């Protein structure tokens, strides 16, 4: 593993870059899991006085704006060649963290719907810029061979504290918690991105050159075409498209569960520490499993395992024991690891920002937008929780059948390719 290689060879530059990326992404993902997902719900319902449905509508604006901004920024960065400029991406990341820190600190003071909506729009623009800028740093900071491990560390680093320590999901608690982490983070990023000290100058110079090295730049699934353009197989593209379905189905089920506090009280927000630690440990184990398998297995088997576990968990239905959240944690961690690693591995340093923006925005944000919209529509139609979850299970069943069909179709080979 490259991480141990860097330690053994005392390559502090590469090691700093590695840790910077893992730390930044883990905190960013923790922020999304807790502050964006539950803090805003608390802010909207308790302090602003909106209904859960109104908050959900506002969240769809957040998701949609983030998707549009991310794709626009990612595309522009690729077209203008900014994807390959490490320092620019770092400065953008700093700007995003700075804006997000200010917004996070200001959030508990919002009391009107107009301000709430303005906050959401400002946050979605920042998140939209942040997606291509931060994910784009993968090609500069994480060697191809360690992308599974780095993704596992990010996933474990975000899910474990989210499961274990965030028992109180109020906007005040989450805001104070996040600001405490984000202020030193923003300061460190600012020093690295803007101050021209001897140490930072050397660090930036060396890290800027890393994406040109074979171990870093070209993604694992990219094959170079005759004119030097990156290509990936259509089979892989199909698998990635299927992964979007995972996000949609998962989000659709989770949203409705979030409306049912009873499910949370026995697991994610259990008053006892044991269930929360168990779920957190399962996230860590599953992330490390996924990290090891991502690196070692071919795309077909890898995706089959992820899809299979996901479908199985949904087909098991929704019980109220701890067994279900444990299995759910396994499925979620598996596909989250792949989501952190795959975009850089289907890209070159030139295309990383565009591919990441499209991938993350569509899977993470657009899927949330669509599932929230559908969830609200179903609730308005008077569909009960049980019927809603049956629909989710039915979708999971269709998905499972598609996975079984995949077993019979072998990759068509490297000749069928598309631009990556």
Quote the radius of gyration of the chain (alpha carbons, Å). 21
Phi-psi region of 85 (alpha: psi -120 to 50; beta: other; left: phi over 0): beta
Q: How far is the CB of 293 from other proteins (least distance, A)?
A: 5
Would you list the DSSP string of 278-336?
A: HHHHHHHHHHHHHHHHHHHS-HHHHHHHHHHHHHHHHHT---SSTHHHHHHHHHHHHHH
Region from 4-12, 91-99, 356-364, 375-383 binding other proteins, contact rule CB under 8 A: 4-12
For 232, phi and psi rounded to 5 degrees?
Answer: -125, 160
Q: How far is the CB of 147 from other proteins (least distance, A)?
A: 9
Q: Is 384 in the site for other proteins (CB under 8 A)?
A: no
Region from 70-78, 162-170, 201-209, 355-363 binding other proteins, contact rule CB under 8 A: 201-209
Closest CA to 248 of 147, 335, 327, 158: 335
Neighbours of 272 (CB within 10 A): 10
Closest CA to 40 of 61, 68, 22: 61
Q: How far is the CB of 317 from other proteins (least distance, A)?
A: 5
Region from 66-74, 174-182, 273-281, 355-363 binding other proteins, contact rule CB under 8 A: 273-281
Alpha carbons within 13 A on the beta-carbon side of 10:
0
By three-state DSSP, how is residue 406 classified? helix
- The binder of other proteins chosen from 237, 289, 304, 395 (CB under 8 A): 289
Tokens of 295: 């690196």
Q: Is 340 in the site for other proteins (CB under 8 A)?
A: no
Q: Is 14 in the site for other proteins (CB under 8 A)?
A: yes
Tokens of 222: 């990219």
How far out from the chain centre does Cα 307 lie? 17
- The binder of other proteins chosen from 24, 35, 133, 146 (CB under 8 A): 146
Region from 54-62, 106-114, 282-290, 405-413 binding other proteins, contact rule CB under 8 A: 282-290
**Start-to-end C-alpha separation, the chain:** 26
Q: Is 387 in the site for other proteins (CB under 8 A)?
A: no
Q: Is 173 in the site for other proteins (CB under 8 A)?
A: no
Q: Is 144 in the site for other proteins (CB under 8 A)?
A: yes
Tokens of 393: 């299970």
Within 343-372, which residues bind other proteins (CB under 8 A)?
Answer: none
Q: Is 262 in the site for other proteins (CB under 8 A)?
A: yes
Q: Is 264 in the site for other proteins (CB under 8 A)?
A: no
Closest CB to other proteins among residues 93, 313: 313
Region from 108-116, 123-131, 213-221, 397-405 binding other proteins, contact rule CB under 8 A: 213-221
Closest CB to other proteins among residues 52, 390: 390
Whole-angstrom Cα distance, residue 151 to residue 165?
21
Within 320-339, which residues bind other proteins (CB under 8 A)?
Answer: 320-324, 326-327, 330
Q: Is 406 in the site for other proteins (CB under 8 A)?
A: no
Q: Are strands 223-224 and 230-233 parallel, antiparallel or unpaired?
A: antiparallel
Whole-angstrom Cα distance, residue 81 to residue 70?
16
- Paired with 230 in beta bridges are 224
- The binder of other proteins chosen from 293, 332, 346, 357 (CB under 8 A): 293
The footprint of other proteins on this chain (CB under 8 A) covers a number of residues equal to 61
Q: How far is the CB of 157 from other proteins (least distance, A)?
A: 18
Q: Is 408 in the site for other proteins (CB under 8 A)?
A: no
Q: Are strands 230-233 and 417-419 parallel, antiparallel or unpaired?
A: antiparallel
Q: Is 167 in the site for other proteins (CB under 8 A)?
A: no
Please give the order of strands across the beta sheet that includes 417-419.
Answer: 223-224, 230-233, 417-419
Q: How far is the CB of 214 from other proteins (least distance, A)?
A: 7
Q: Is 87 in the site for other proteins (CB under 8 A)?
A: no
Contact positions toward other proteins, by CB under 8 A? 1-2, 5-6, 9, 11, 13-14, 17, 143-146, 206-207, 209-210, 213-216, 220, 262, 266, 271-275, 285-286, 288-289, 291-293, 295-299, 305, 308-309, 312-313, 315-324, 326-327, 330, 386, 389
């Amino acid at each position: 593993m490259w991480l141990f290689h860097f330690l053994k060879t005392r390559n502090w530059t590469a090691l700093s870059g590695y840790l910077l990326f893992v730390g930044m992404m883990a905190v960013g993902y923790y922020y999304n899991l807790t502050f964006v997902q539950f803090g805003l719900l608390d802010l909207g319902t308790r302090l602003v006085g909106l209904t859960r449905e109104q908050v959900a509508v506002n969240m769809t604006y957040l998701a949609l704006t983030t998707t549009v901004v991310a794709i626009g920024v990612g595309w522009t960065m690729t077209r203008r060649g900014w994807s390959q400029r490490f320092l620019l991406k770092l400065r953008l990341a700093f700007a995003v963290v700075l804006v997000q820190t200010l917004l996070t600190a200001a959030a508990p003071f919002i009391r009107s719907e107009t301000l709430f909506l303005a906050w959401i729009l400002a946050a979605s623009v920042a998140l939209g810029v942040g997606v291509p800028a931060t994910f784009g740093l993968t090609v500069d900071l994480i060697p191809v061979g360690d992308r599974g491990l780095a993704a596992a560390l990010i996933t474990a680093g975000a899910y474990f504290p989210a499961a274990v320590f965030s028992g109180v999901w109020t906007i005040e608690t989450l805001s104070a918690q996040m600001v405490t982490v984000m202020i030193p983070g923003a300061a460190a990023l600012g020093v690295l991105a803007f101050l021209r000290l001897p140490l930072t100058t050397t660090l930036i110079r060396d890290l800027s050159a890393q994406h040109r090295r074979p171990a870093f730049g070209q993604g694992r699934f990219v094959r170079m075409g005759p004119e030097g353009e990156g290509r990936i197989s259509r089979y892989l593209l199909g698998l990635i498209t299927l992964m979007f379905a995972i996000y949609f189905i998962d989000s659709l089920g989770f949203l409705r569960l979030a409306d049912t506090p009873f499910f949370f009280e026995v697991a994610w927000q259990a008053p006892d520490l044991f269930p929360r630690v168990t779920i957190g440990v399962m996230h860590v184990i599953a992330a490390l499993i996924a990290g090891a398998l991502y690196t070692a297995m071919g795309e077909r088997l890898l995706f089959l395992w992820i899809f299979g576990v996901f479908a199985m968990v949904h087909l098991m239905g929704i019980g109220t024991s701890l067994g279900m959240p444990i299995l759910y944690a396994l499925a979620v961690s598996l596909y989250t690891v792949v989501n952190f690693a795959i975009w850089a591995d289907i890209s070159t340093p030139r295309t990383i920002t565009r591919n990441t923006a499209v991938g993350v925005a569509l899977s993470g944000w657009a899927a949330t937008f669509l599932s929230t919209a559908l969830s609200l529509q179903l609730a308005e139609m008077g569909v009960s929780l049980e019927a809603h979850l049956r629909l989710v299970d039915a979708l999971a069943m269709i998905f499972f059948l598609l996975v079984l069909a995949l077993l019979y179709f072998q990759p068509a080979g490297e000749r069928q390719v598309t631009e990556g």
